[in-house]
Amino acid sequence: MVIGPYIVDLACRSAKLAIEFDGSQHLDAQAYDERRSLFLRGQGWTMLRFWNGDVIENPDGVVEAILNRATECLGGTHPQPLPGREGRKKSG
């Protein structure tokens, strides 16, 4: 998604959460990444960064981290709906 002069890998507009998946090319791009992060924070965005290896080795952990941060950014509203009343017996 394009935000100002920058592109982020994934974004949740309602939470203003930007997610980056970084490969080895980012080892040499730290100054650029920091400028981008400063710009995005100045625009009210929260940044989450994950190394590609972390995504491959621990996808469930990465998803959990993203959902937890989205919850925080949305003011505590859980981004996934709570289960309905499935399996409950009607009273009365």
Tell me the per-residue pLDDT of 59-89, one tens digit each, with 9 for 90 and over. 999 999 999 999 999 987 554 565 665 555 5
Q: How far apart are the first and last CA of the chain?
A: 52
What CA–CA distance (Å, rounded) separates 19 from 8? 7
pTM of the model: 0.71
Tell me: the pLDDT tens digits for 2-50?
999 999 999 999 999 999 998 766 556 678 888 988 999 999 999 999 9
Which is more confident, 72 or 92?
A: 72
User: How is the chain classified by DSSP, letter by letter?
Assistant: -EETTEE-SEEETTTTEEEEEE-GGGGG-HHHHHHHHHHHHHTT-EEEEEEHHHHHH-HHHHHHHHHHHHHHHTTT--SSPPP-STTPPPP-
